[in-house]
Amino acid sequence: MNKLILGMITVSLLAACSSPAPKETISTAPAAPQTSTAADTSASTSAATSSQTAPAASADTAAAQAAADAAAAKAKADADAKAAELALLDKRTVYFDTDIDVFHDADKEVVMAHGKNLGKVTLLKARVAGYADERGSSEYNLALGQRRAKNTKKALVAAGAKDGQIATVSYGEEKPVATGHDESAWSQNRRAEISYDIAK
């Protein structure tokens, strides 16, 4: 009986030794759930807000720049217009063809600038003096000079001056600016001159 029990134990041991060892199973630990912290939420919210406000800020900057550019362009245009007006006001003489009492078309802007200036500054008084070249009689040239002065005054009033601001006088062929006896000199003497005085 003992031998039988001993034999069974021996067989069991042999069987245990001959069976393969169980394989190890590698268990993967489940990934820890991601939890968003308050800092993470704040950062993502800030990023989203920033991405939304960036285009708006860019549009505001562009609009401000456009407004600044428009203001600068207007200031330059105003300055250019003022400079052009002053350049016209520096010219005080208009010219006429032979025996004509209407000044040249090229001088219209000069007369208009003086008329507007007189209209804006009512304390100013102006005088228009008419002249003729040496040809013709003294009486004829005095009358022609007076017509030239009156027509120039009429144009000044049409441009904005008041009638009472402007006096006229004729010097005829007297006081020539050019002393020659040819067309070059005569064309300079056929003129009307505008001068200013402050009203008393």
Tokens representing 146?
Answer: 């007076």
> Which CATH superfamily does the domain covering 87-198 fall into?
OmpA-like domain (3.30.1330.60)
The pLDDT of residue 156 is 98
Residues 6+ apart with CB under 8 A from 98: 133, 135, 186, 190
CA nearest to 88, candidates 156, 181, 5, 153: 156
The pLDDT of residue 58 is 84
* DSSP codes, 111-148: HHHHHHHHHH-TTEEEEEEEE--SSS-HHHHHHHHHHH
pLDDT in tens, 84-101: 888 999 999 999 999 999
pLDDT in tens, 140-186: 999 999 999 999 999 999 999 999 999 999 999 999 999 999 999 99
pLDDT in tens, 40-86: 555 555 555 555 556 777 888 988 888 888 888 888 888 888 888 88
Q: Domain spans of the chain?
A: 87-198
pLDDT in tens, 100-122: 999 999 999 999 999 999 999 98
The whole-angstrom separation of Cα 104 and Cα 155 is 12
Global pTM reads 0.64
Question: Could you tell me what percent of the chain has a pLDDT over 90?
Answer: 55
